[in-house]
Structure 1
Amino acid sequence: MDISVVVPAYNEVESLSELCAWIKEVMQKNGFSYEIIIIDDGSDDGSWEKTEELHLAHPQVKGIKFRRNYGKSAALNVGFDAAQGDVVITMDADLQDSPNEIPELYRRIKEEKLDLISGWKKKRYDPLTKTIPTKLFNAATRSMSGIYNLHDFNCGLKAYRKEVVKNIEVYGEMHRYIPVIAKWAGFKKIEEQVVEHRARKYGTTKFGFSRFINGFLDLLSIFFVGKFGKRPMHFFGSMGVLSFLVGTVMALWIIGEKLYNIANHIKITREVTDQPLFYIALVAVVVGSQLFLTGFVAELVSRSSSNRNIYQIEKEIG
């Protein structure tokens, strides 16, 4: 199979028929063998019934329904697992992504032997309350990830080589940083393509202001996991040892000063416990010990995270 199109959908019943018809038209025009995998993320507006209807009319349309709303990352992760095409395309269900971009994305993945192509919505139809925070996040992500050639990490329209989606894990709100996840997994042929951004035709956006806070926290998480996920002791342990050594040196300095004064019959004006430096040293030693133990425990935990991406799937077709 040439192409798998993975479409996360949450309450998008109005747009599914038009989107699938548009994808079908593009695929047939270019002679691609394909499948459309709609991941119903716990919709309650009839999106699943519409998916079943589309499957009966077009067997290429397949569907997976979550029992409740898990979020876009969960939908993409399950869709990636189900995809069979040599090239996997992701796009939103709201018709803001154009299926006309698919042939060029497929061609570049195949001919240029790329791992991932991220869409860049150079001209957007979103309000400033959405575009300005998005630009700030993109700038921060470029700086922290080292992927300087991407302008829009969060664009829903992306193309992947099959091997990529079978070897990455998407959870939480990490769908915003899939290029970063792919890079940490060892896939470095990541490029960008300017794509059309269309105004929303039906319904309203499903993302609120909280996504910006969650996005920033997930950026910090992915930076830490990417660098230290397999070796947390290197992070916590190094800080712990440094803090412990600093505290120990300060404590020895205080004790050495007192012993020197005693040996030279110098009058001691205050006890060790009366000095603020003593308590700073004590805190540094305790914090250092805790950080070291945290690194040790994290090493054990990192080896047993087998159920992070288990979701309750209610129905499946195709």
Structure 2
Amino acid sequence: MHIFDFTKDELEDFITTKYQEKKFRAKQIFDWVYKKKVDNFDKFKNLPKSFIDKLKNDFEIHVFKLVSKQISKSDATTKYNFETKDGFLIPTVYIPKLERNVVCVSTQVGCPIGCKFCNSGKVKFVRNLTCGEIVEQILRIDKEKINSILYMGMGEPLLNYDNLVKSIKILTNENMFGLGRRRITISTVGIVPNIYKLAEEKLNVKLAISLHGANNKVRKELIPNLNYSIDDILQAAIYYAKKTDTILTIEYVLIDKKNDAVSDMEELVEVLLKHSINKKIYKVNLIPYNPIGICNYNTPEDKKVINIKNFLMSKGFLTFIRRPYGLDINAACGQLGL
């Protein structure tokens, strides 16, 4: 069994039932793996050897094999490729920034959504990652002192709902990883029923909607395997933002002559205002397309991207241009899987 698959309550139940040990042993175990980052049961110094032997017989701490680790020469972004026990590769990206250290985690092997501008969408979907596999990605690289987590790697997080939610509960539990809820962001193309469901979980993490088109026709071309309309997605997302008192991030990949015309931006403003006249509920992240070499899309010129940002700002929307991190190691947005 994978130790990172267990919540505190679950581990307490297991060790009291099977081992007849006291509940406090669970906290001791989690102190070693989450607080002290020790990945060897034999080094759990305050546990009896007989108990350690039982743990070694039943549990694993690491189930991944590290296949490769690439470090960007331009910005020190690091891409880890882990191999699962059943032989599949998943990418995890560490992004060091001045104000925070970010890890971008995967939630699935492959991706069923098939976004045309994203290389992960070209990787055939195989299965959901377990809760433990999601959490292990973070623990394997936490020596970098991670203080922000993005569910934005390979896969659609809200299609792995139960393991997503369980992993967040583990990562925000003060007896385990202990990360603040507002330091976690879930990026989704918009799985409408699960956005509403997530709002009721009271996790209060941030939500980012991968919109990428201002109307359903353009969006369907870019995100073919999704049948929810923009109106339905934004209605659910605004409900989530209000329910959790969070700002809703709108992610928009800018593709030259595809979705970056003035008319596209006017339409984007219109559809956002349709769902909330309170512009402060939104934050717009503009993402210039990152080449993946398998489609005919191009990146807009910098001047055009800046003009789009200025236009949205003039309409009252907080807008940022998201610079690419790890471009030289294929770790930037849309490149994972290369």
TM range (shorter): under 0.3
Kindly name which structure, 1 or 2, has the bigger radius of gyration based on alpha carbons. 1
TM-score of the aligned structures, taking structure 2 as reference length: 0.25
TM-score of the aligned structures, taking structure 1 as reference length: 0.26
By percentage of residues, which structure has more helix? Answer: 1
Q: Which has the higher relative contact order, 1 or 2, with Cα contacts under 8 A spaced 6 or more apart?
A: 1
